[in-house]
Amino acid sequence: MRLTIEEIRFFKTQGYLIKRGILDPKLTARARDRLWDNAPPSLRRDDPDTWIGPIREEEVSEERANYKKGFRWQYRAPGREPWMVQLLARNADVWEMAEQLLGKGQLVEPSGIRGIYCTLPYGDEPARANGCHVDAHPFHLGVVGYIDDVPEGGGSFSVWPGSHLEFYPTFITRYKRDATEQYEPLRARLNDQAPVDCWGRAGDILFWHHRIGHMAGHNRSRQIRQAVLYDFVKKEIEETQDEPPLEDMWLDWSGEVQAAG
């Protein structure tokens, strides 16, 4: 599996790229099963009526390994299990495409992924404001994989296309979260605009630039949005993370990306 020149150009201009049917169905099914090993007691896998958030007050946990609060359930504990790494970061097709974007032999070998990130259905919860943001930790390329179907309006990983081009110069360094005074006005402006709902099916993935504005979408479906996430990092990150943004933001990327125009 390789990206076409048109897909690379799309990624450069839009800041994200969706690829369909990439993940191993056996591993996505295993991940769906693994999620329920440590679910909030009131959520029953066979009863979708119990999935509607928010998390009950007595079941709230801010423990990082299995965070459960509001409409968020982030089960990070399985993220370092080898099969989970194979599911996403070390999937052969995902790895090859990431190397196309960042350079062959340039990626840090993954020891784990973020885990399984869920958004519970909102039910009758009133409409919420958008939450456009840029992630704080240094990395180069994000990837989201859906382990179950995510319908339109189902809490997808949602993005503001092209916002990576605007956000990139609003930071003091290339990869750290040290925003200038231009960051908040830009974020506020984008929050007044609707993001792209990147819905999909189990096995679909989405690559995203580290400076793109994004959010976990509002889940108006009756399903739990279930996704796995990983952040690709180049071996040079410690040398470049404190340097100022480049005039050409793609000089840190592969020759194939630089040549794509």
- According to DSSP, the β-strands at 205-209 and 141-146 are antiparallel
Give the rounded distance of the alpha carbon of 23 from its chain centre: 15
Of residues 199, 132, 137, the one with CA closest to residue 163: 132
- According to DSSP, the β-strands at 72-75 and 115-119 are antiparallel
CATH topology of domain 5-258: Jelly Rolls (2.60.120)
**Contacts (Cβ under 8 Å, ≥6 apart) of 33:** none
pLDDT at 127: 84
Residue 1's pLDDT band, with cuts at 50, 70 and 90, is: confident
- Residue ranges of the domains in the chain? 5-258
Check whether 261 has a pLDDT greater than 90. Answer: no
pLDDT at 109: 98
pLDDT, one tens digit per residue, over 62-108 is 999 999 999 999 999 999 999 999 999 999 999 999 999 999 999 99
60, two tokens: 């709230």
Q: Is the pTM of this model over 0.85?
A: yes
Q: What is the dihedral of CA 229, 116, 217, 203, to 10 degrees?
A: 70
220, two tokens: 């108006």
* SS3 (DSSP) at 167: helix
Task: Tell me how crowded residue 57 is: count the other CB atoms within 10 A of its CB.
Answer: 7
pLDDT, one tens digit per residue, over 226-241 is 999 999 999 999 999 9
Where does 70-166 show beta strands of DSSP type E? 72-75, 115-119, 141-146, 157-159
